[in-house]
């Protein structure tokens, strides 16, 4: 099932001296129920590609289709709403709101999702934290959580609106091996649920969890 | 985004942040200063309008009509028959009074009556102790600022109001007058009696000093003491009875025109009609002098200081709180970029920031209102109570001060919001990583 389709995506960055082509006609189709990892050297354009797939960055040429809809035709507000419902982000530095509890952090994406009733938010958030084995830490603030625990809360937040796609930028970069395994196990579970998980990572450990490894080199994406 | 959710997100974000508490404290402190100044200024203006500007005492003017008199009287022609002279003065006085009565802006006319005598207690080596007492033409229920309402006293009550200080005649006018030695300060006599010597007699009449003029909250009526008309008339009668030449003055006493003096006191309906009345009087050879004035300098300085403090506090509030809010937001840029990745639109993010700042400002402001009101009450019961008659001023946090201060406080989040509109227009994962 085609979830995210890249067709001849090109992206240039203009500097004073010259124009740098970061992506040179990237094409690939990402499907549900799989874990993909994207590797590449520093500056190869991995973050640029992730930004484009996350509808955070525009592209110069090509097409981006998510769930059968072309992104370029959307307004900024439509993209934001689409992002809220269809894509979940997980970051290397977790990026939890320090002023909110674990439960409150998970509920943040739900506030702008009209499809979720106010009375259901707490229940859904509790279930998601249960899923990532954080049910005993609902009222804890990020400061009181370990790195691994924070990342699990971040994953729960990414799942708040039941998105089809999870984009993870170096999700285990700040974690030890044990916690890394724990996070990757969660991703594995998400894959079984039918989600499309795309991870940008340098970790060797991740290979045993991924279904497809892609390398971005010289602006082109290739299967390894 | 629903308002309820917006408030939840904003409040939850703001509640535990140290910078938020700092912002709230800053808003509170500057709001207190601002509210205090505005409220005090408003109370003072109200006091000024209610008790000062509209006070009938300030609408009193003295009118001289001596120019209407026969020139021989003005020059002091001694060949003029005294009885004839008195008759001419009486007629002119009646005529002047009739003319004044035709002006619609003049609501009261009182003849000035004077009594000239001596207070032995104030007589020194250098000072004569001679005084001039003038009648106070007050026939209304408004209390005198300086002291008790003379009309509240029985005409048998012997009371007088003195200036704060007065220059007495030196005994030897050929000597140069030493100001300090020729000045008497009546503050020490307040509430006490002074014995006034009835002219042409050794008889002493006791009069209680019930008030003083010439302090910052009272009127200045120059270098005289004031009594009710009844008491001055009484003293004049006593004096004339003791006067060996009394018989020659007996015809001067009529039912309504008792005079030793050539002035009237008029009361205007409104101070804005003063020029018109003055022109009217001049046309009829009469002149109006400012008689009851007020030492306004300190009052005006106080109000000016209040205005400057208020304005300064408003500017300070905008600058200090604005800077802190901006710094707070600068630190939280990453958080706002995250909101964007989670699907919050630019509009949603701006709303959160605006609501967050507004909540902080609102809490700080509400606390400021409470603290300011307590402060004003304490100020009123301590400092103001000690200043004569300023206890009539009732400073409290009023609606206008609250509205002005609050509207200004709202400018800060609005400005910050507009600034952020430009600042966080574009976001991506690189900005989050930074």
Whether pLDDT at B251 is above 60: no
Question: Which residues in chain B have their CB less than 8 angstroms from residue A84's CB?
Answer: 342-344
User: Is there a single domain that holds both residue B365 and residue B260?
Assistant: no
Model confidence at B209, in pLDDT bands (50, 70, 90)? confident
Spatial contact of B197 and B117, defined as CB atoms under 8 Å apart: yes
Mean pLDDT for all residues in chain B:
75
pLDDT of residue B79: 81
User: Is there a single domain that holds both residue B323 and residue B420?
Assistant: yes
The Cα A55–Cα A214 span in angstroms is: 20
Whether pLDDT at B249 is above 70: no
User: Is there a single domain that holds both residue B267 and residue B301?
Assistant: no
Q: Which two tokens stand for residue A9?
A: 């995506």
Q: In chain B, which residue's Cα lies nearest the Cα of A87?
A: B342
The Cα A41–Cα A158 span in angstroms is: 26
- Look up the domain containing A191 and give its range: 2-223
Q: In chain B, which residue's Cα lies nearest the Cα of A105?
A: B9
Residue A56 touches chain B, beta carbons under 8 Å? yes
Give contacts of A 103-132 with B, CB under 8 A.
104, 108-109, 111-113, 118
Annotate A63-98 with b (16+ C-beta within 10 A) or e (fewer): ebbbeeeebeebeeeebbbbbbbbbbbbbbbbbbbe
Give contacts of B 339-368 with A, CB under 8 A.
339-348
Residue B15 touches chain A, beta carbons under 8 Å? yes
The Cα B1–Cα B374 span in angstroms is: 39
The Cα B110–Cα A11 span in angstroms is: 97
The Cα B190–Cα B72 span in angstroms is: 43
Q: Which two tokens stand for residue B244?
A: 């060996």
Residue A124 Cα to chain centre, angstroms: 20
Torsion of Cα atoms, B9 then B10 then B15 then B19, to 10°: 130
pLDDT of residue B90: 81
Half-sphere exposure of B180 (CA within 13 A, CB side): 0
User: Is there a single domain that holds both residue B327 and residue B242?
Assistant: no
| Nearest residue to A192 via CA among A29, A34, A66, A31 | A34
User: Is there a single domain that holds both residue B217 and residue B354?
Assistant: no
Q: Which two tokens stand for residue B209?
A: 């000093």
Q: In chain A, which residue's Cα lies nearest the Cα of B336?
A: A97
Half-sphere exposure of A179 (CA within 13 A, CB side): 16
- Structural domain count, chain A: 1
User: Is there a single domain that holds both residue B181 and residue B80?
Assistant: yes
More confident residue, B176 or A96: A96
Mean pLDDT for B23-30 is 77
Cβ A108–B9 below 8 Å, yes or no?
yes
Which of B238, B259, B293 terminates a domain? The answer is: B293
Which of B242, B258, B293 terminates a domain? The answer is: B293
Residue A143 CB coordination number (10 Å): 9
- Structural domain count, chain B: 2
Cβ A54–B429 below 8 Å, yes or no?
yes
Whether pLDDT at A85 is above 80: yes
Model confidence at A176, in pLDDT bands (50, 70, 90)? confident
Annotate B66-77 with b (16+ C-beta within 10 A) or e (fewer): bebbeeebeeee
User: Is there a single domain that holds both residue B131 and residue B250?
Assistant: yes
ipTM of the complex: 0.88
pLDDT of residue B257: 40
Residue A171 Cα to chain centre, angstroms: 9
Which of B248, B271, B293 terminates a domain? The answer is: B293
Cβ A112–B344 below 8 Å, yes or no?
yes
Torsion of Cα atoms, A179 then A180 then A181 then A187, to 10°: 110
Residue A42 touches chain B, beta carbons under 8 Å? no
More confident residue, B179 or B110: B110
Residue A126: CATH number of its domain: 3.40.50.300
Residue A75 touches chain B, beta carbons under 8 Å? no
Q: Residue B330 burial (CB < 10 Å; 0-12/13-18/19+)?
A: exposed
Whether pLDDT at B426 is above 60: no
More confident residue, B112 or A133: A133
Taking 3-state DSSP, the helix, strand and coil percentages for chain A, each rounded to the nearest 5, stand at 35, 30, 35
Under DSSP, the state recorded for B142 is P
The Cα B205–Cα A224 span in angstroms is: 122
pLDDT of residue A90: 93
Model confidence at B188, in pLDDT bands (50, 70, 90)? confident
| Nearest residue to B236 via CA among B200, B212, B262 | B200
Cβ A97–B433 below 8 Å, yes or no?
no
The Cα B97–Cα A100 span in angstroms is: 84
More confident residue, A51 or B385: A51
- Look up the domain containing B203 and give its range: 57-293
Whether pLDDT at B17 is above 60: yes
Cβ A112–B348 below 8 Å, yes or no?
yes
pLDDT of residue B147: 53
Cβ B427–A56 below 8 Å, yes or no?
yes
| Nearest residue to A125 via CA among A87, A93, A164, A153 | A153
pLDDT of residue A83: 92
| Tens-digit pLDDT profile for residues B117-161 | 889 998 888 788 888 888 765 554 444 545 555 556 665 678 887
| Tens-digit pLDDT profile for residues A112-150 | 998 888 889 999 999 999 999 999 999 999 999 999 999
> DSSP E strands: which ranges in A43-169?
61-66, 69-70, 87-91, 165-169
Residue B338 touches chain A, beta carbons under 8 Å? yes
pLDDT of residue B259: 46
Under DSSP, the state recorded for B243 is -
User: Is there a single domain that holds both residue B211 and residue B120?
Assistant: yes
Q: For chain B, what percent of residues have pLDDT higher than 90?
A: 9
Spatial contact of B226 and B248, defined as CB atoms under 8 Å apart: no
User: Is there a single domain that holds both residue B62 and residue B93?
Assistant: yes
pTM above 0.80, yes or no: no
Question: Which residues in chain A have their CB less than 8 angstroms from residue B4's CB?
Answer: 118
More confident residue, B281 or B261: B281
Residues A39, A44, A49, CA angle at the centre, nearest 5°? 75
User: Is there a single domain that holds both residue B245 and residue B165?
Assistant: yes
Strand order of the β-sheet with A19-31 is: A19-31, A2-14, A61-66, A69-70
Mean pLDDT for all residues in chain A:
90
pLDDT of residue B237: 82
Distance from CA of B1 to the nearest CA of A (A): 5
- Report the first-to-last Cα separation within chain B, whole angstroms: 28
| Nearest residue to B313 via CA among B78, B34, B10 | B34
Residue A29 touches chain B, beta carbons under 8 Å? no
Model confidence at B267, in pLDDT bands (50, 70, 90)? confident
The Cα B335–Cα B18 span in angstroms is: 16
| Nearest residue to A151 via CA among A122, A174, A131 | A174
Mode of pairing for the β-strands spanning B183-185 and B106-111: unpaired
Q: Which two tokens stand for residue B396?
A: 């409290």
Residue A65 touches chain B, beta carbons under 8 Å? no
Cβ B432–A99 below 8 Å, yes or no?
no
Phi, psi of B121 (to 5 degrees): -60, -30
> DSSP E strands: which ranges in A69-151?
69-70, 87-91
């Amino acid at each position: 099932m085609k979830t995210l389709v890249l067709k001849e995506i090109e992206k240039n960055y203009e500097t004073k001296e010259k124009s740098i082509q970061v992506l040179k006609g990237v094409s690939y189709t990402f499907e549900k129920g799989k874990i993909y990892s994207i590797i590449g050297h520093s500056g190869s354009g991995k973050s640029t590609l992730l930004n484009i797939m996350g509808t955070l960055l525009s592209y110069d040429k090509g097409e981006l289709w998510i769930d059968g809809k072309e992104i370029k035709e959307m307004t900024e507000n439509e993209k934001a709403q689409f992002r809220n419902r269809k894509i979940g982000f997980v970051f290397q530095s977790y990026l939890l709101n320090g002023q909110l509890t674990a439960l409150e952090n998970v509920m943040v994406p739900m506030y702008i999702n009209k499809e979720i009733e106010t009375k259901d938010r707490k229940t859904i958030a509790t279930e998601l934290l249960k899923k990532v084995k954080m049910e005993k830490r609902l009222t804890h603030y990020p400061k009181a959580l370990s790195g691994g625990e924070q990342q699990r809360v971040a994953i729960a937040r990414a799942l708040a609106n039941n998105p089809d796609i999870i984009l993870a930028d170096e999700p285990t970069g700040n974690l030890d091996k044990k916690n890394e395994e724990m996070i990757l196990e969660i991703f594995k579970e998400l894959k079984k649920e039918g989600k499309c998980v795309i991870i940008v990572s340098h970790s060797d450990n991740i290979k045993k969890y991924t279904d497809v490894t892609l390398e971005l080199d010289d602006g082109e994406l290739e299967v390894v | 985004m629903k308002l309820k959710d917006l408030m939840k997100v904003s409040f939850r974000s703001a509640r535990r942040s140290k910078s938020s508490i700092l912002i709230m404290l800053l808003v509170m402190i500057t709001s207190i200063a601002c509210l205090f100044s505005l409220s005090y200024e408003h109370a003072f203006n109200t006091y000024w309008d209610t008790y000062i500007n509209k006070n009938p005492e300030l609408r009193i003017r003295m009118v001289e009509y001596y120019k209407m008199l026969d020139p021989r009287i003005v020059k002091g022609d001694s060949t003029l028959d005294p009885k004839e002279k008195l008759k001419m003065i009486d007629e002119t006085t009646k005529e002047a009074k009739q003319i004044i009565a035709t002006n619609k802006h003049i609501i009261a006319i009182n003849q000035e009556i004077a009594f000239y005598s001596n207070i032995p207690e104030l007589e020194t080596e250098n000072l004569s102790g001679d005084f001039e007492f003038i009648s106070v033409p007050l026939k209304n229920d408004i209390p005198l600022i300086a002291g008790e309402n003379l009309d509240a006293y029985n005409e048998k009550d012997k009371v007088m109001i003195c200036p704060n200080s007065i220059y007495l005649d030196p005994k030897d006018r050929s000597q140069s007058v030493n100001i300090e030695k020729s000045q008497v300060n009546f503050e020490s006599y307040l509430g006490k009696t002074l014995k006034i010597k009835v002219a042409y007699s050794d008889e002493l009449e006791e009069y209680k000093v019930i008030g003083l003029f010439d302090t910052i909250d009272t009127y200045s009526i120059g270098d005289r003491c004031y009594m009710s008309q009844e008491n001055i008339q009484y003293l004049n009668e006593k004096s004339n009875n003791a006067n060996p030449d009394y018989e020659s003055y007996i015809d001067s006493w009529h039912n309504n025109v008792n005079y030793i003096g050539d002035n009237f006191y008029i009361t205007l309906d409104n101070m804005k009609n003063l020029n018109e009345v003055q022109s009217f009087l001049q046309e009829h050879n009469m002149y109006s002098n400012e008689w009851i004035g007020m030492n306004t300098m300190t009052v005006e300085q106080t109000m000016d200081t209040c205005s400057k403090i208020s304005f300064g506090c408003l500017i300070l509030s905008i600058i200090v709180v604005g800077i802190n809010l901006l710094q707070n937001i600068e630190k939280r840029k990453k958080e706002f970029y995250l909101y964007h990745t989670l699907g919050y639109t630019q509009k949603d993010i701006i709303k959160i920031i605006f609501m967050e700042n507004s909540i902080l400002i609102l809490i700080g402001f509400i606390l400021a209102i409470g603290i300011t009101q307590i402060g004003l009450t304490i100020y009123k019961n301590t400092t103001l109570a000690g200043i004569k008659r300023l206890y009539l001023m009732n400073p409290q946090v009023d609606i206008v001060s609250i509205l002005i201060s609050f509207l200004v406080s709202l400018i800060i989040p609005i400005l910050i919001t507009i600034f952020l509109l430009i600042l966080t227009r574009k976001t991506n994962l690189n900005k989050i990583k930074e």
